Structure 1
Amino acid sequence: MSVNSTEPRSLSDAAYQRLRSDIVSCQLAPGERLTERGLAESTGIGIAPIRDALTRLDHEGLVRTLPRKGYQVAPLTLKSIDDLFTLWRIVGPEIARLGLRDVTSEEHGRLIDTFQKMAELSKGRPPGQDDTPVRLVELADIAFGTLAAATRNDYLISIYRRLQNDMARVWALTAQSDAPVPDMGVDQRWVEMVERRDGEAAAETVRTSIGEVHNNALRIFSRWPSVAASEITPLRA
């Protein structure tokens, strides 16, 4: 009995992690239609774990269930991206303010290290290092994930996770364009704010930075070929 009860959970988790990774990286494109059988064949994972994973992803807003038609990766539109940044500009500063106020010593050290790495990467991309924007996004997720966890506020943590899912998809799509990934503006001043736990200054800096990235992202996607069809799809599609 113990084997039967734990194995499906392990397979369901594996299916969830695989599908979530493919969605947030846009390997499974926004708006793409999915079927349990097709995903089972492409991943080598059984239909039951795939179904469990799709249910979890539906709850997280990354997948839509289409009655009698299967599933669809949640589409992205210019409006949804605008709404995403509008909400992030409200929530992000509060996560920074409350998180810095309540971080543990261990979390504080992790934040300083992460923001230091971001500041160093932001100084300029070394020759031949094309993954700098991707690495910056990964570090930003670590930093704000740590700040969100430090708030100990389950609602804020849940909202952050939901926002981060779609934010990762926006960055993945942006990386496909000829335009540079919007600058997050992280420099040594951010590191110093984190070191002194200045939540108020961090909140204002985050608010300003999100506003600038918001405007740049809208400029990029307003020129996206698929915007005319309302849903934004990868350039390779």
Structure 2
Amino acid sequence: MSDPQFRHPTEPADTDSVSLGLAAYTAIRRDILTCRLVPGSMVTEGELMATYGFGKNSCRIALTRLAHERLVFARPRKGYQVAPITLKDVEEVFALRVQLEPMAARLAVNRVDTQQLHRLEAACRVEHIGPLPHRIDVFMDANKAFHLAIAEATGNERLLRTLSGLMDEMSRLVALGFNVQRVKPEIRHDHNSMIKAFEDRDERAAETIARRHIETFRTQTMEKVYASLSQAGTYLPLVVAGGVR
């Protein structure tokens, strides 16, 4: 979990309360997406208040919003469960990405800023920039920005919003690989190949590389998920609809 960043002995009403609720939501959501709050684990309002330094009202605002996004589930008399990672979720996310991202790459040819992509790819190289939690944050932000820069270049706002949501869902899977194996997915080759295709204005190559990247990433991700399960056991459930595998 994150170290407490905001400490308010009292929580003013109205605007200040909404602002603190947003801050609580942002901090807790970040830790869910980076798996510092372990998938499937239980948390209580009191635990979140103690960890993040927010008051009860702010935590409730945050939990209400997180529940709406299905990142937590209320469990009567127990608290809240951090959303488990399910095989169905993984399959659905990859099924959409493998269709949408190659299309986005093709449409972005002649539009995307390749210098920006070079900077974002370089930002994904996080091996020597500090402790593991910081490396996870930096890599996830840079990798997401790389893919969304391509989507944004298409000019299709719905495509951009959809891929942004999918990247957020994917982030927990990426974080599992970091947390267990202490490595990031090896994406440098694909990113650079994609940039070259954009520089060459080669629509077919950009589309093909994007598809290969997602398919390879799916295999790597599932290997890391299962490695996480093997190491963490029942504390990191991978479930399907109706039960645990």
TM-score by length of 2: 0.73
Match of residue 73, structure 2, among 64, 75, 91: 64
Paired residues, what number?
A: 223
Within-5 A mapping of 1:31-42? 31-42=40-51
Considering Cα pairs closer than 8 Å and 6+ residues apart, tell me whether 1 or 2 has the greater RCO. 1
Aligned residue for 1:189?
Answer: 193
Indicate if the aligned counterparts of 2:193 and 2:209 stay in contact, CA closer than 8 A: no
Q: Distance in 2 between matches of 1:30 and 1:41?
A: 20
- Name structure 1 gaps, 5 residues minimum: none
Q: Which residue of 1 aligns with 2:243?
A: none
Structure 2: tracts of 5 or more residues without a match: 1-11, 240-245
Q: Against the structure 1 CA distance between its residues 59 and 153, is the aligned structure 2 distance closer, same or farther, given a 3 Å change threshold?
A: farther
CA separation of 1:196 and 1:163: change in aligned 2, threshold 3 A: same
Provide the aligned C-alpha RMSD in A: 3.4
Match of 2:3 in 1: none
The answer to whether 1:52 aligns with 2:58 is no
Task: Determine the C-alpha separation between the residues in 2 that align with 1:206 and 1:144.
Answer: 10
Match of 1:231 in 2: 237
For the pair 1:140 / 2:146, whether they are aligned, the reply is no
Q: Mark the CA change 1:201 to 1:56 in structure 2 (over 3 Å): closer, same or farther.
A: farther
**Which of 142-151 and 168-177 deviates more?**
142-151
Q: What percentage of aligned pairs have identical amino acids?
A: 30
Q: Distance in 2 between matches of 1:181 and 1:172?
A: 8
Structure 1 residues 78-157: aligned runs within 5 Å: 78-100=87-109, 102-103=111-112, 109-115=115-121, 117=122, 121=125, 134=136, 135-157=138-160
Query: Shift of residue 173 of structure 1?
Result: 0.8
Q: Compared with structure 1, are the counterparts of its residues 187 and 87 closer, same or farther at alpha carbon in structure 2 (3 Å cutoff)?
A: closer
Contact 2:41–2:236 under 8 Å retained in 1: no
Provide the residue aligned with 1:203 in structure 2: 207
| Pair 1:76 & 2:85 matched | yes
Q: How far apart are the structure 2 equivalents of 1:59 and 1:95?
A: 28
Query: What is the CA-CA distance between 1:97 and the residue it aligns to?
Result: 3.0
CA gap of 1:158–1:45, structure 2 versus 1, over 3 A, is same
Aligned to 2:15: 6
Moved more, 40-49 or 89-98: 89-98
Once the two structures are TM-superposed, the CA of residue 228 in structure 1 deviates from its matched residue by 7.9
Q: Distance in 1 between matches of 2:52 and 2:218?
A: 35
Q: Which amino acid counterpart does residue 208 of structure 2 have in structure 1?
A: E
